[in-house]
A = this chain, B = another copy of it.
Amino acid sequence: MNQIRIGIYGYGNLGRGVECAAMHSDDISLRAVFTRRDPSSLKLMNPSVPVVSSDEVAAWKDEIDVMIICGGSATDLPVMTPKLSQMFCVVDSFDTHANIPDHFAAVDQAAKQGEQLALISCGWDPGLFSLARIMGECILPQGKTWTFWGKGVSQGHSDAIRHIPGVAEACQYTIPCDEVLDAVRSNDCRDFTSQQMHTRECFVVLEPDADADVVRNQIVTMPNYFAGYHTIVHFISQEEFDREHRAFPHGGTVIRNGSSGKDLENHAAIEYSLKLDSNPEFTASVLVAYARAVHRMHKRNRCGCISVFDVAPADLSPRSPEDLRAHLL
């Protein structure tokens, strides 16, 4: 089998997830991991894969078919993805929804200049949930879509709590509200706010002298993150935290309620849901499948920036079109 040679740029939880996903895909071969840290400080799962300083990435231009960029959306990806897409076909998981148009424009220009293909905002939201939203709207144009997140750990919210003085460690679970989920499943088509749709449950380890009431108050009143939400705060020991809250579960549900028939008299519901033990490993699995598609589309001379909306499902599969039609259609 002609393997697709991928590189991992950035080796945190997501990068490790990509290493795992590549390991379990026969047609994908991990060629190198690139890091801004001292390469000798990284321990890969597969020690035969070279770890390379990010300064030397240009020398690997002909060795990597698709670079999977595993950086953060706040400051890393807006710089890394345009830069790398001048040299490599790339996939990133840029997830700041409001800034997607700007990121797309910057990457599109760079990738076209380098005659590369770049797929941005891949993963499950944006990513698979975006597909559920577009498909729901296209098939049932008369209708409404809801996205519920959780139950799962939100890194952004956990980080926000960690920045409060007196907090030693914190983990925040986003939990969909069962009553609203049931209402939407029963075709209740009211507008629900994110605050009505989700509860936020926080597990916090305090520093020795911290005042629990002060910390709790700072959490529940934090604008954008917690204010307006039903927020539950538990103070726990470091031991309990380490035992119970070190994993990264996540998931969620996209529901489309729509209508069919002459007078829209018939209801139709489409529901898509994910339940993940490991958010970064699952996100990485999505990135690897889309790296396969990027490689194929680039071989067909596609350049510039694309999103999951532009990829035909057949390009995600290592199986032949004949095989897919015979067994999965």
In the assembly, what is the distance between CA of A25 and CA of B259, in Å?
12
Q: Contacts A100-B325, A328-B133; is A260 near B285 (CB within 8 Å)?
A: yes
Q: Which residues of B contact A310 (CB under 8 A)?
A: 312-314, 321
Q: Which residues of B contact A274 (CB under 8 A)?
A: 268-271
Q: Is A325 touching B104 in the complex (CB atoms < 8 A)?
A: yes
- Min Cβ gap A187→B in Å is 9
Q: Contacts A272-B271, A313-B134, A316-B134; is A277 near B289 (CB within 8 Å)?
A: no
Taking a contact as CB atoms closer than 8 A, the residue among B104, B268, B278, B326 that contacts A268 in the complex is: B278
Q: Is B130 touching A328 in the complex (CB atoms < 8 A)?
A: yes
Q: Is A214 an interface residue (CB 8 A)?
A: no
- Min Cβ gap A275→B in Å is 4
Taking a contact as CB atoms closer than 8 A, the residue among B21, B130, B260, B284 that contacts A20 in the complex is: B260
Q: Is B138 touching A316 in the complex (CB atoms < 8 A)?
A: yes
Taking a contact as CB atoms closer than 8 A, the residue among B20, B326, B328 that contacts A137 in the complex is: B328
In the assembly, what is the distance between CA of A23 and CA of B262, in Å?
8
Q: Is A101 an interface residue (CB 8 A)?
A: yes
Q: Is A73 an interface residue (CB 8 A)?
A: no
10 contacting pairs across A/B (C-beta < 8 A)? A17-B260, A135-B316, A137-B317, A138-B316, A260-B276, A260-B282, A268-B281, A269-B276, A271-B273, A309-B312
Q: Is A168 an interface residue (CB 8 A)?
A: no
Q: Contacts A20-B260, A308-B313, A317-B137; is A277 near B266 (CB within 8 Å)?
A: yes
Q: Which residues of B contact A104 (CB under 8 A)?
A: 325
Q: Which of A97, A270, A322 has the most CB of B within 10 A?
A: A270
Closest to A286 in B: B139
Q: Which residues of B contact A74 (CB under 8 A)?
A: none
Q: Is B278 touching A261 in the complex (CB atoms < 8 A)?
A: yes
In the assembly, what is the distance between CA of A269 and CA of B130, in Å?
17
Q: Which residues of B contact A317 (CB under 8 A)?
A: 134, 137-138, 309
A-B contacts besides A101-B322, A269-B274, A309-B321, 20 pairs, CB < 8 Å: A20-B260, A100-B329, A121-B329, A130-B328, A131-B135, A134-B316, A134-B328, A135-B316, A137-B328, A138-B289, A260-B276, A260-B281, A268-B274, A268-B281, A269-B276, A271-B272, A309-B314, A309-B324, A309-B328, A310-B312
Q: Is A163 an interface residue (CB 8 A)?
A: no
Q: Which residues of B contact A324 (CB under 8 A)?
A: 134, 309
Q: Which residues of B contact A20 (CB under 8 A)?
A: 260-262
Q: Is A140 an interface residue (CB 8 A)?
A: yes
Taking a contact as CB atoms closer than 8 A, the residue among B289, B316, B325 that contacts A307 in the complex is: B325
Interface residues of A in 123-154 (CB under 8 A from B): 126, 128, 130-131, 133-135, 137-142
Q: Is A36 an interface residue (CB 8 A)?
A: no
Q: Is A230 an interface residue (CB 8 A)?
A: no
